[in-house]
Amino acid sequence: MVLHHKQQAENMRKLQSKLTKSRNKGVAVLGVLAIVGVTGMLAYQLVSLQSVSIAHVKLTKNYDQLLAYASGLEELFSARLLQDWFEADDRPFDNYEEDWASSKIEFEISDLEESEFNIRVFDLQSQFNANGLNDPDSLIAGSAFNNLCSEIRLPYDTAPKIQDWIDDDESIQPSGGEDFEYSRYNPPFRTPNQLVADISEFDYFLNLNDEELQFLSDHVVLLPTNQLIVNINTVSEPVLEALLESVDVQEDVRSIVNDDRDYTDVEEIIADYPYMEALRPNLAISSNFFRLEATVYIPNLGRIDFTSEFFRHPDDGEVTVYKRDFGKRHVWEEEFEY
C-alpha cells in the first residue's frame, strides 16, 4: 500500500512537471507573437512615415522648380522694362503697344513637352492710386475717388475711412474712422497709420460685396507712394473721367482713350485737349509701377500662379519687385489641360 501511494505521488509530480513545461512554452509562444506583432506595427509605421517624407520631399522639390520658372518670368519682364528704359530717348512714353506690355514669351523649354507659360502685364499708373488719398498736397484725390466710386454706388464713407486708415493722426475725417471707433469692434483693432499694402485691408473697415470688390480691383491700385499720377497714354476711361469731374470738367474722354496714345509730352495732350490743363500735376507720359500676372504649368510638376508688382526707377531704370502674391489663381482664355 505504501509503495502504491509513493507511485501515485511520483506520477502526479511528473504530470505537474509536464503541465508546467507546456504552460511555459505557451507563454513563450505568446511572447514571441507579441514581439513580432509590435515589430510589424513599428515597421509599418516607419514605412508609412518614409512614404510621407518621400512625397513631401517630392512636392517641395517640384514646387521649388516651379518657383524657379516663376522667377525666370520675373527676370524676363524686368529685362523688358529695363530695355524700355534704355530706349527712352527714342520712345520716352509708355503705352500698351510697346514690348514690355507683350504677353508673348520668346523662349521655349525643349525638354518639357506640353508645358504652358501665360503672362499678362498691366501699367499700374493707368488706375487710381488709393494711397493718394493721403497726399496733403492733392486737392482732387478725395473728390476724384468719390466720383470713381459713384459708378457702382460704393458707400459714401469709403474715401474718408481709407484716408483715416492711412494718415498718422487721430483726427477723424467726416464719416471716417480712427482707433476710438475700431476699438469697439469685435475683435477690436487699430489703424496702421501707413500706406495700404493690399486691398484685403479694406475688409477690416469696409463691408464690400463681391461686385464692389471686383470694381475696386479693376480700377484702384495701392502703390507704395501717396502721389496720384496717371499715365495719360494708358489711363482707363473711368479713372480719367473721375479725375476730370473732380475739377468740374464734363467731357467725353472716349476720343482720348480709344485713340492710339503715344504722347511724348504732357504739353502735347493739353494742346489737343485744353481742358486737361486742370490735371497737369496729375499727368505723366510714362510709368514707374507695373504688374505681372503669370501662370506656369509643367506636366508632372504642377501649376503655380503668381502676381508680382514692379517699380522701375525713373533715374537709372533699376527694376525692383516690391510685392508678390501666390494666392490668386488666374483665369486664361485657354485653360490648361491636366
**Sequence-separated (6 or more) residues with CB below 8 Å from residue 66:** 296, 298, 301, 302, 303, 304
When pLDDT is cut at 50, 70 and 90, the band that residue 39 belongs to is confident
Structure-model confidence comparison of residues 4 and 128, the more confident one? 128
**pLDDT attached to residue 244:** 94
List the domain boundaries for the chain. 127-284
Sheet (strand 319-325) strand order: 116-123, 289-298, 302-312, 319-325
**pLDDT attached to residue 40:** 78
Residue 265 grid cell: 509730352
Statement: residue 24 has pLDDT above 70: no
**pLDDT attached to residue 59:** 78
How far is residue 309's CA from residue 197's CA, in Å, rounded to a whole number?
Answer: 11
Statement: residue 144 has pLDDT above 80: yes
Whole-structure pTM over 0.85, yes or no? Answer: no
Residue 145 grid cell: 475717388
Q: Highest mean pLDDT: which of 71-75, 113-117, 155-159?
A: 71-75
**pLDDT attached to residue 225:** 95
**pLDDT attached to residue 35:** 81
209-265 pLDDT, tens digit per residue, is 889 999 999 999 999 999 999 999 999 999 999 999 999 988 888 888 888 889 999
**Sequence-separated (6 or more) residues with CB below 8 Å from residue 312:** 81, 82, 85, 287, 288, 289, 290, 318, 319, 320
What's the burial of 225, exposed, middle or buried (CB within 10 Å: 0-12/13-18/19+)? middle
* Mean pLDDT for the stretch of residues 315-330: 94
When pLDDT is cut at 50, 70 and 90, the band that residue 335 belongs to is low
What are the C-alpha distances in Å from 34 to residues 38, 107, 290, 305? 6, 62, 67, 52
Phi, psi of 13 (to 5 degrees): -65, -40
**pLDDT attached to residue 81:** 96
Question: How large a percentage of the chain has pLDDT more than 70?
Answer: 87
55-114 pLDDT, tens digit per residue, is 777 778 888 989 999 999 999 999 999 999 999 888 899 999 999 999 988 766 655 667
Question: How large a percentage of the chain has pLDDT more than 90?
Answer: 52
How far is residue 327's CA from residue 313's CA, in Å, rounded to a whole number?
Answer: 27
Poorest-pLDDT segment among 35-49, 79-93, 165-179: 35-49
How far is residue 152's CA from residue 129's CA, in Å, rounded to a whole number?
Answer: 18
**pLDDT attached to residue 318:** 96
**pLDDT attached to residue 173:** 85
**pLDDT attached to residue 337:** 59
* Mean pLDDT for the stretch of residues 6-31: 60
CB count within 10 Å of CB 6 equals 10
Opening angle at CA 73, ends 71 and 75, nearest 5: 70
**pLDDT attached to residue 312:** 97
* Mean pLDDT score of the chain: 86
* Mean pLDDT for the stretch of residues 258-276: 91
Class of the domain covering 127-284: mainly alpha
What's the burial of 67, exposed, middle or buried (CB within 10 Å: 0-12/13-18/19+)? middle
How far is residue 299's CA from residue 304's CA, in Å, rounded to a whole number?
Answer: 12
How far is residue 15's CA from residue 314's CA, in Å, rounded to a whole number?
Answer: 104
Statement: residue 5 has pLDDT above 60: no
**pLDDT attached to residue 88:** 87
When pLDDT is cut at 50, 70 and 90, the band that residue 294 belongs to is very high
Residue 320 near residue 332, CB atoms below 8 Å: no
* Mean pLDDT for the stretch of residues 154-167: 90
When pLDDT is cut at 50, 70 and 90, the band that residue 207 belongs to is confident
When pLDDT is cut at 50, 70 and 90, the band that residue 41 belongs to is confident
**pLDDT attached to residue 107:** 65
